[in-house]
Chain A
């Protein structure tokens, strides 16, 4: 067991190393320079551009750049091109902003997808099943930015309340209770919009899994024994249907970065997705690469966690030390 974990960990480290090389090459080999180096500015001379390239290490060979970049990253001396702030603290600050959105969104996804999926599976071909199927595909196919605009316009025009940003703008002096609720309110729309597609997809999976499991012999046996329906479905069937979702849960973690670029931009939410998006537009290489690295770590962490959970949950899976 321990040796499995150790080996798994080492494998992940090697993967991470290759990811770092590939992502570095992709970013650096793409044409273009950081936006600070503006060749179309009539006032810039060749020497000025050379000076900037030197300051950003861009004049060195690629492998040296790679070495310097990761050395700076691990010693926390890597600075953003754009504002000269340490990249890691920038990312951490945004991470804290993205976290509530991510937690609430994930919560909503998983809390709502299961009851919907189970119910649809148990009442197969009913009106409920058909309508959840319809709405699932509806939300999967609807682009989230479109839905976001619609809901913002709806909220602003009919309820006349602010929905943009982390909190209502300019209300710093109100009581703590108001403040907490204000922040919760600002979470509602973006997290729900982020969750919609997730619920739609996940509930389909849950339905499929449940359908598969309740056809099994042991469920028929349990029913034949005379166990109450609830116990059959929620204890015997659900547990077995849950297994594949452990893998899926591990893959949720990277969504912290990538899943929210559009929603964060529309809702003026100062999160990690937006940080990455702005960095790409400005070709702020340190921020792009660091976020990429963090995302890679999160993916590997996610798969690692689900491997471990899987082992713990399913007694049929065991690791033999060779």
Chain B
């Protein structure tokens, strides 16, 4: 019977075809043995695929990891997290300060009758006196008065909660201005200068007559416009970058100042929707002084703006308007709708000056880079860098175990599992983040800082680190990154002391009632603690905190909410009692968005409503301070204030963990040119891949030290 035979033999044949393929597949050992080039390949595994290989457009960690290999910025951070030059050889920072000449009779009487006399007075002062605090000046110039018309766009509420944009015209009558070039940035320059010229010289209101608002509806904006368009004093910090000469893009074209300007303009172009735009918003102007010299002028004092220049520099010659138009025409697309975002550059042919060159991208499979033989710092030892996409953590671990992957983002429990294997070495270091419990200070309940302190002291943080994080974390006491100098190491985290906590609560008026619950004025101490679901660490903390507080006699209900609901319905609108959350941060010590009292509105990040005028003042001074020592000093003060206020219970800084084959080591040369093999160790600040370009894999675990036999 045909059908019967068919039903038996057909599946059998299909299975045979499938299974016979086993004999043609190499096992892992053969792959490496017959394949010496495997030693010069570095394969790393990632959960997600990259999306855009363009440093100014990408917003995900996978893309930026690849971009860091292909592109390079003007500066980056060295192993001690200090800034160092890359495409910029070095740089100089100074300041231009501007102020309007004051023609009030009071000052005219004092002898400052014209901008010229004021200038002469100041020049004389700076030349003769050396004991003053005003710093060194390079030059004083007078800018003549002029009139200017400006179109201003205002957003007006329209029907049904919408927003309507309205354009109107204002006229500005700029009085004559003095421009002083200082050799160093000094945020207190004007207050010192006012001491010299006389109290009240920098009077903003005096300029009212110089502003004409033609549209009566916007009259109320006068004060705002004055500050914005006719600021009586203005700080313009300036950076001059000296670019490295002779650096080439991987297509052979030389890198120069045009590329820097182009990158800046591409970021600021609203059509490109660059997520990096906010970093460059403080830039007022960029000027090319010569092929290797760029001058960047800022609108205001903002020290963290400097690090933004770590952004990868784009090749102007491949992405300028002309090239984009040509690309659009070749593809037969609408030229007016074709921009940097649409270009194949981001997907098929990114070109940068970095140590690796883009070779191939198979979507959701791998991205392959080859080394840049003409990299200005010498080519990396690895010939190929391969980024494999393996979405599952356990699969990654198996591939790593089998040797098909050199590196993966091993989680703490995975490191724990493979730690005992002699072939691997494991690392860990502090991440750029911290976890905390934030209290909504709008609530009556949390307004006493003794209460907040007591809540913090009730939680056993070392235990959380040991059991939830497998020991891979450190307690933290404040809002700065623990591995930076901004963190005040003199401040120790709150001790775990439930007895002391009860004592503090008693001082604040909370006494235990007959049910064992804390009570004050007839009300029991109860609130809700929430976090987003899907984060196992936060969910664990939620329960631990709930239990710890229950032991004090506090009634806490704990809840987990889906992330976007969590943000929209609770955090963004201040509708919560306490939250478990974390911040991931940059290295800069700028805390404005998270801690300044002006940022407490809906959809702003100071959602706990922390307000402390002293802290506000320090936060502003920190972001305006260009002298690092002074900045660190200010940060330490701020750290102390915030720690004292305990608006958050600072929990811990989690550590990143990593595993690496012991056969991978650093191959370097000593002063005499003798090759030296060094062990890979994390740098002081906690990155182990800092010397990645010098890494190489050996056939066996190497002996460290100088290598006599170089053959």
A-to-B contact residues, CB < 8 Å:
30-33, 35-36, 38-40, 42-46, 48, 51-52, 55, 82-85, 90, 93-94, 104, 107-108, 111-112, 114-115, 118, 149, 152-153, 156, 159-162, 164-166, 168-171, 177-178, 181-182, 184-185, 187-188, 191-192, 228, 230-231, 234-235, 238, 265-268, 270, 274-275, 278
Q: Is the CB of B273 within 8 A of A177?
A: no
Among candidates A51, A171, A192, A238, residue contacting B3 with C-beta atoms closer than 8 Å: A238
Q: Report chain B residues within 8 Å CB of A267.
A: 395
Q: Report chain A residues within 8 Å CB of B394.
A: 149, 266
B564 part of interface (Cβ distance < 8 Å): yes
A-B contact pairs, 19 of them (CB 8 A): A32-B568, A36-B275, A40-B567, A42-B592, A42-B594, A44-B278, A82-B51, A84-B341, A85-B347, A114-B7, A161-B22, A161-B25, A164-B398, A168-B31, A171-B26, A187-B18, A268-B389, A268-B390, A270-B363
Q: Report chain A residues within 8 Å CB of B603.
A: 39, 46
CB within 8 Å of A: which B260-297 residues: 270, 273, 275, 277-279, 281
From A32, A38, A191, name the one whose CB has the most chain B CB atoms within 10 angstroms: A32
Q: Report chain A residues within 8 Å CB of B346.
A: 83-84
Q: Report chain B residues within 8 Å CB of A48.
A: 277-278
Q: Is the CB of B365 within 8 A of A165?
A: yes
A79 to B268 alpha-carbon distance, docked (Å): 22
CB within 8 Å of A: which B37-59 residues: 38, 41, 43, 48-49, 51-52, 59
- A129 to chain B minimum Cβ distance, whole angstroms, is 17
Q: Report chain B residues within 8 Å CB of A149.
A: 394
**Chain A residue, CB-CB nearest to B565:** A31
Among candidates A40, A112, A228, A265, residue contacting B392 with C-beta atoms closer than 8 Å: A265
B146 part of interface (Cβ distance < 8 Å): no
A274 to B347 alpha-carbon distance, docked (Å): 20
A228 to B4 alpha-carbon distance, docked (Å): 13
Q: Is the CB of B21 within 8 A of A184?
A: yes
Q: Is the CB of A39 within 8 A of B48?
A: no
- A159 to chain B minimum Cβ distance, whole angstroms, is 7
Q: Report chain A residues within 8 Å CB of B564.
A: 30-33
Q: Report chain A residues within 8 Å CB of B592.
A: 42
**Chain A residue, CB-CB nearest to B25:** A185
A275 to B386 alpha-carbon distance, docked (Å): 21
Q: Is the CB of A152 within 8 A of B398?
A: yes
Q: Is the CB of A188 within 8 A of B21?
A: yes
Q: Is the CB of B391 within 8 A of A268?
A: yes
A208 to B618 alpha-carbon distance, docked (Å): 78
A168 to B24 alpha-carbon distance, docked (Å): 11
Q: Report chain A residues within 8 Å CB of B389.
A: 268, 270
Among candidates A84, A160, A185, A238, residue contacting B21 with C-beta atoms closer than 8 Å: A185
A115 to B3 alpha-carbon distance, docked (Å): 10
Q: Is the CB of A166 within 8 A of B365?
A: yes
Q: Report chain B residues within 8 Å CB of A93.
A: 363
Extra inter-chain contacts (14) besides given A51-B273, A115-B11, A161-B25, CB under 8 Å: A32-B565, A38-B59, A39-B572, A39-B603, A82-B51, A84-B341, A108-B14, A115-B8, A149-B394, A160-B29, A161-B27, A170-B31, A170-B386, A270-B364
A114 to B9 alpha-carbon distance, docked (Å): 12
A289 to B273 alpha-carbon distance, docked (Å): 23
A267 to B401 alpha-carbon distance, docked (Å): 16
B399 part of interface (Cβ distance < 8 Å): yes
Also in contact, A235 and B8, with CB within 8 A (given A42-B594, A111-B14, A268-B389): no
A94 to B49 alpha-carbon distance, docked (Å): 14
A141 to B273 alpha-carbon distance, docked (Å): 48
A85 to B346 alpha-carbon distance, docked (Å): 10
A44 to B275 alpha-carbon distance, docked (Å): 8
A108 to B60 alpha-carbon distance, docked (Å): 39
A191 to B17 alpha-carbon distance, docked (Å): 14
- B539 to chain A minimum Cβ distance, whole angstroms, is 18
Q: Report chain A residues within 8 Å CB of B11.
A: 108, 111-112, 115
Q: Report chain A residues within 8 Å CB of B342.
A: 84
Q: Is the CB of B27 within 8 A of A32?
A: no
Q: Report chain B residues within 8 Å CB of A230.
A: 1, 4
Also in contact, A185 and B563, with CB within 8 A (given A51-B270, A170-B35): no
CB within 8 Å of A: which B374-413 residues: 386, 388-392, 394-395, 398-399, 401-402, 404
A6 to B386 alpha-carbon distance, docked (Å): 53
- A51 to chain B minimum Cβ distance, whole angstroms, is 6
B467 part of interface (Cβ distance < 8 Å): no
B593 part of interface (Cβ distance < 8 Å): yes
A39 to B275 alpha-carbon distance, docked (Å): 12
Q: Report chain B residues within 8 Å CB of A90.
A: 363
Among candidates A153, A188, A231, A274, residue contacting B398 with C-beta atoms closer than 8 Å: A153
Q: Is the CB of A235 within 8 A of B3?
A: yes
Q: Is the CB of A161 within 8 A of B28?
A: yes
The 9 closest A-B pairs by CB, nearest first: A32-B564, A270-B364, A181-B24, A42-B593, A185-B21, A111-B11, A230-B1, A184-B21, A83-B51
B366 part of interface (Cβ distance < 8 Å): yes
Q: Is the CB of A182 within 8 A of B24?
A: yes
A152 to B393 alpha-carbon distance, docked (Å): 13
Q: Report chain B residues within 8 Å CB of A191.
A: 18
CB within 8 Å of A: which B322-356 residues: 341-342, 346-347
Q: Report chain A residues within 8 Å CB of B193.
A: none
Q: Is the CB of A188 within 8 A of B19?
A: yes
**Chain B residue, CB-CB nearest to A162:** B404
Q: Is the CB of B48 within 8 A of A278?
A: yes
